[in-house]
Amino acid sequence: MYEMTFVEIRQNLRTKFPGLDHQERVMLQTLCVAEETGELVKEVRRQLGLARNVGSLLHVGSELADVYITIRMLAEMLELDLMHEVGHKLGIIIERGGV
Protein backbone atom coordinates (compact mmCIF):
# COMPACT_ATOMS: atom_id res chain seq x y z
CA MET A 1 0.00 0.00 0.00
CA TYR A 2 2.69 2.51 0.99
CA GLU A 3 5.55 0.97 -1.01
CA MET A 4 4.98 3.29 -3.93
CA THR A 5 5.15 6.27 -1.59
CA PHE A 6 8.55 5.17 -0.26
CA VAL A 7 9.79 4.67 -3.82
CA GLU A 8 8.56 8.15 -4.68
CA ILE A 9 10.28 9.64 -1.63
CA ARG A 10 13.55 7.95 -2.63
CA GLN A 11 13.25 9.32 -6.17
CA ASN A 12 12.38 12.78 -4.88
CA LEU A 13 15.46 12.81 -2.66
CA ARG A 14 17.68 11.91 -5.61
CA THR A 15 16.05 14.64 -7.70
CA LYS A 16 16.24 17.27 -4.96
CA PHE A 17 19.90 16.50 -4.17
CA PRO A 18 21.37 15.32 -7.49
CA GLY A 19 24.97 16.15 -6.59
CA LEU A 20 25.07 13.96 -3.48
CA ASP A 21 26.70 10.57 -3.54
CA HIS A 22 25.33 7.62 -1.56
CA GLN A 23 27.37 8.40 1.56
CA GLU A 24 26.19 12.01 1.58
CA ARG A 25 22.55 10.96 1.10
CA VAL A 26 22.88 8.52 4.01
CA MET A 27 24.35 11.26 6.21
CA LEU A 28 21.57 13.66 5.21
CA GLN A 29 18.95 11.03 6.03
CA THR A 30 20.62 10.33 9.38
CA LEU A 31 20.37 14.02 10.21
CA CYS A 32 16.68 13.90 9.23
CA VAL A 33 16.17 11.04 11.73
CA ALA A 34 17.77 13.17 14.45
CA GLU A 35 15.66 16.19 13.51
CA GLU A 36 12.39 14.24 13.50
CA THR A 37 13.29 12.56 16.80
CA GLY A 38 13.84 15.99 18.35
CA GLU A 39 10.43 17.11 17.09
CA LEU A 40 8.87 13.98 18.63
CA VAL A 41 10.48 14.75 21.99
CA LYS A 42 9.13 18.31 21.82
CA GLU A 43 5.59 17.11 21.10
CA VAL A 44 5.68 14.49 23.88
CA ARG A 45 6.80 17.18 26.33
CA ARG A 46 3.97 19.42 25.17
CA GLN A 47 1.40 16.64 25.43
CA LEU A 48 2.57 15.85 28.98
CA GLY A 49 2.39 19.52 29.98
CA LEU A 50 6.16 19.80 30.43
CA ALA A 51 6.64 22.61 27.91
CA ARG A 52 5.42 26.21 27.62
CA ASN A 53 2.86 25.30 24.95
CA VAL A 54 0.31 22.54 25.34
CA GLY A 55 0.27 19.84 22.66
CA SER A 56 -1.99 17.03 21.64
CA LEU A 57 -1.71 13.30 21.16
CA LEU A 58 -2.53 13.90 17.49
CA HIS A 59 0.72 15.87 17.12
CA VAL A 60 2.65 13.11 18.92
CA GLY A 61 1.23 10.54 16.48
CA SER A 62 2.22 12.68 13.52
CA GLU A 63 5.79 13.02 14.79
CA LEU A 64 6.00 9.28 15.52
CA ALA A 65 5.02 8.69 11.90
CA ASP A 66 7.73 11.10 10.73
CA VAL A 67 10.34 9.25 12.82
CA TYR A 68 9.22 5.89 11.41
CA ILE A 69 9.31 7.17 7.83
CA THR A 70 12.78 8.69 8.16
CA ILE A 71 14.14 5.57 9.87
CA ARG A 72 12.64 3.32 7.22
CA MET A 73 14.15 5.45 4.47
CA LEU A 74 17.54 5.26 6.19
CA ALA A 75 17.28 1.48 6.53
CA GLU A 76 16.44 1.17 2.84
CA MET A 77 19.38 3.38 1.87
CA LEU A 78 21.64 1.09 3.90
CA GLU A 79 19.95 -1.99 2.38
CA LEU A 80 18.83 -3.21 5.80
CA ASP A 81 15.64 -5.20 6.33
CA LEU A 82 14.19 -3.11 9.15
CA MET A 83 11.53 -5.65 10.17
CA HIS A 84 14.18 -8.40 10.34
CA GLU A 85 16.38 -6.16 12.50
CA VAL A 86 13.46 -5.31 14.78
CA GLY A 87 12.57 -9.00 15.17
CA HIS A 88 16.19 -9.87 15.95
CA LYS A 89 16.44 -7.09 18.53
CA LEU A 90 13.15 -8.09 20.16
CA GLY A 91 14.56 -11.62 20.55
CA ILE A 92 17.60 -10.21 22.34
CA ILE A 93 15.43 -8.08 24.62
CA ILE A 94 13.23 -11.05 25.50
CA GLU A 95 16.29 -13.20 26.26
CA ARG A 96 17.58 -10.66 28.76
CA GLY A 97 14.27 -10.47 30.58
CA GLY A 98 12.32 -7.94 28.57
CA VAL A 99 14.38 -4.90 29.51
Count of residues in the chain: 99
Q: Quick one: pLDDT at residue 1? A: 61
> Left (φ > 0), alpha (ψ -120 to 50) or beta: where does 79 sit?
left
Q: Quick one: pLDDT at residue 23? A: 96
CA distance 99 to 93: 6
CA distance 90 to 99: 10
User: Which CATH number does the domain housing residue 13 bear?
Assistant: 1.10.287.1080
Sequential pLDDT tens for the chain (99 residues): 676 788 888 888 888 889 999 999 999 999 999 999 999 999 999 999 999 999 999 999 999 999 999 999 999 999 999 999 999 999 999 999 987
**Domain containing residue 34:** 3-95
Helix (H) or strand (E) segment spanning residue 42: helix 22-47
Q: How many domains does the chain have?
A: 1
Q: Quick one: pLDDT at residue 51? A: 93
- Show the 3-state SS of 71-96: HHHHHHHCCCCHHHHHHHHHHHHHHC
pTM for this model (two decimals):
0.86
